[in-house]
Amino acid sequence: MSTAVFLQREGYAVTVIDKVPPGEGASFGNAGGVVVSGIVPPVHAGMLLKIPGWLLDPKGPVTVHWRHLPAALPWLLAVGRNALPDRVKKITDARAQLGMRALQDHRAILAHAGASDLLEMDDGLHLYSTRRQYDDNAGWRALRAKYGYDGRELSGDEAREIEPDLTPDIYKAVFWDGWHRIVDPFEMVQKLAEQVLRDGGNIVQDEVISIDQDGTRATRLHLMNAGEQIVQNLCVCAGAWSHELARMLGSKVLLQAERGYHVIMKDPGVRLGRAVTHAAQPGAVTPHHDGIKIAGSDEIAANDAPADWRRADQMHVYGKRVLPQLRDINGTETKWMGRRPSTPDSLPVISPSPNLVNVWYGFGHGHMGLSWGPTTGRMIADMITARTSNTDPAPFLINRPM
């Protein structure tokens, strides 16, 4: 939707084709963070050492469907390669580029859709229960500080002054400098979709089953229900299914669905004013207009594998670690599973096609789709209009080594 909005602002007539209604993809259930400081890749040398233990724990934050392992193995091996120090530095530089413009692009696109009130600027809090957790995280904090994200440190008591319902088990807390929040990501995508329609665009709920090509151009889409759609320019921004469409267009790319879960606790029994994360486990506990949302988990599985709702229940356990007085599961909560489209180097594909002159790609944002979505839309609009971007496109090309 960000790509559609930015292209309309350049004067293009736009049709969006999506197999689900606006906002019902991975954006629906994420934690809502606009994490401009999310520059360190999620898998680095320190994190790599923890993953085997997590995999052996059926309730751990990372799991692999073993039937899917042969298909996922090339992606998993590439993740390991990208955790080496020289690759982490290059990836961090590239992620920092995206973060530099993310907030400005969010403000522009939300203002255009009349939805500026969805962005809240309170920084999140990152918690440490022990001195060892804090010391183990020193390299991560230092790397972020090199790029200007220092993060003010608090004692446990100071953190609880800000958020009184936090656990007393806090050695230290650090403000996530550069972690802002979209109040409701689903509503954001819906507002963008409404603006696309107001600006004369079309939104078609359908599925692409094949793409015709003529030499160096994509010419026609064949849709499951609505027949044919003539193509002048084509942008593939199809989340966890993007690699299937890219393959039709002659480009192979490693992409894996990192399936995440959330649980929304209505009438949670506690208060929370900002996003909170914990060093012991990936995930986030955030305020939501329906209560409190606890989101996270990495499940490496096929796109069409059944959801394992025990992982949503495990999110509640994580929530209790942060907010001990959080009410228990009682059947009134909402559970969800979504598919994060992830590349092995944690960088999105924002790229022209190397094969077809009228095809562009914008997918593979992993955990950062909400944060980088508007910037991706702007960059694709820059590419299509042949305008020089202030973001180096090289790290995001579809045919880069991964």
Instruction: State how many domains the chain has.
Output: 1
CA dist list (Å): 396 to 93, 177, 349: 12, 25, 5
Full DSSP string of 177-194: TTEEEES-HHHHHHHHHH
Dist CA 60 CA 225 (whole Å): 41
Q: Is residue 286 part of a domain?
A: yes
Q: What would the mean pLDDT of 265-284 be, rounded to a whole number?
A: 92
pLDDT for the residue numbered 45: 65
Dist CA 94 CA 146 (whole Å): 14
Q: What would the mean pLDDT of 239-268 be, rounded to a whole number?
A: 95
For residue 118, the domain's CATH number is 3.50.50.60
- Domain residues for 144? 2-396
Strand partners, 286: 293
Dist CA 102 CA 118 (whole Å): 15
b/e per residue, 65-101, with b = 16+ CB within 10 A? Answer: beebeeebeebbebbeebbeeeebeebbebbbbbbeb
Dist CA 256 CA 383 (whole Å): 26
Of the chain, the percentage scoring pLDDT greater than 70 comes to 96
Indicate the burial class of 15 (C-beta count within 10 angstroms; 0-12, 13-18, 19 or more).
Answer: middle
pLDDT digit string, tens, across residues 386-400: 998 888 999 999 999
pLDDT at 48 over 70: no
Q: Is residue 7 part of a domain?
A: yes
| Confidence category of residue 31, pLDDT binned at 50, 70, 90 | confident
DSSP 327: P
pLDDT digit string, tens, across residues 121-158: 988 999 999 999 999 888 888 888 999 888 899 999 99
Q: Is residue 402 part of a domain?
A: no
Q: Is residue 210 part of a domain?
A: yes
Indicate the burial class of 387 (C-beta count within 10 angstroms; 0-12, 13-18, 19 or more).
Answer: exposed
Q: Is residue 31 part of a domain?
A: yes
Report pTM: 0.94
Q: Is residue 401 part of a domain?
A: no
Dist CA 377 CA 11 (whole Å): 14
Of the chain, the percentage scoring pLDDT greater than 90 comes to 79
Q: Is residue 161 part of a domain?
A: yes
Amino acid at 266: K
pLDDT at 51 over 80: no
| Confidence category of residue 26, pLDDT binned at 50, 70, 90 | confident
pLDDT for the residue numbered 297: 84
